[in-house]
Amino acid sequence: MKSKLIQRLTIFLDRRSHNWQQRLCLITFLMLSLSVILAGVPMHIIGLIGTESSTLYAISAIMWVATVVITTLYIQQRLSLTVAISAFGILTQLMGSARIVYMAMRQPTGFEDTIILNQIISLALIIYLVMAVVRHVPTIVATMSIATIIFVYIYTDGSINKQIMVIFIIVDMFTCVLGEMIRRGIRNMQRENADYHSTLNQLLATFRMTKSELLAYIQLGRSKRSDKEIADFFNRLDERTEANLIRAVEQRVAYRRMQHADISSTLPTLTPTEQEVCRLIIGGKTIQEIASILNKTPNNISSVRIHIRKKLGLATTDDLRQVLTETMCIRN
User: Which comes out higher in pLDDT, residue 12 or 277?
Assistant: 277
pLDDT band, residue 257 (cuts 50/70/90): low
Amino acid residing at 249 = V
* Per-residue confidence band for 256, with pLDDT thresholds at 50, 70 and 90: low
Q: What topology does CATH give the domain 238-331?
A: Arc Repressor Mutant, subunit A (1.10.10)
Q: What percent of the chain has pLDDT over 70?
A: 87
CA distances (Å), origin 149, targets 98, 146, 158, 159: 11, 5, 11, 11
**For residues 302-319, b (16+ Cβ closer than 10 Å) or e, as one string?**
eebbeebeeebeeeeeee
Which 3-state string (H, E, C) describes 189-235? HHHHHHHHHHHHHHHHHHHCCCHHHHHHHHHHHHCCCCHHHHHHHHH
Q: Which helix (H) or strand (E) holds 163?
A: helix 162-207
Residue-level pLDDT at 170:
92
Domain residue spans of the chain:
2-199, 238-331
Q: For 77-121, write each residue's pLDDT tens digit.
A: 899 988 999 999 999 999 999 999 998 888 888 788 888 888 888
pLDDT digits (tens, 9 = 90+) for 304-313: 999 999 988 8
Asked whether the predicted pLDDT for residue 188 surpasses 80, the reply is yes
* pLDDT exceeds 80 at position 314: yes
Burial 241-267 (b: 16+ CB within 10 A, else e): beeebeeeeeeeeeeeeebeeebeebb
The pLDDT value given to residue 83: 92
What local confidence, expressed as pLDDT, does residue 248 receive?
73
The pLDDT assigned to 71 comes to: 93
Q: Taking residues 278-296, what's their average pLDDT?
A: 86
Distance CA 276, CA 127 (A): 66
Question: Within 13 Å, how many C-alpha atoms sit on residue 241's CB side?
Answer: 19
Q: What DSSP designation does 51 have?
A: -
- Tell me which of 240 and 275 has the higher pLDDT: 275
pLDDT, residue 305, reads: 92
CA distance readout (Å), 43 to 52, 56, 119, 232, 312: 12, 13, 19, 65, 97
Determine whether 82 is exposed, middle or buried from the number of CB atoms within 10 Å of its CB (0-12, 13-18, 19+): middle
pLDDT for position 24: 85
Asked if residue 31 has pLDDT above 80, the reply is: yes
pLDDT tens digits, 131-163:
888 888 999 999 999 999 999 889 888 888 888
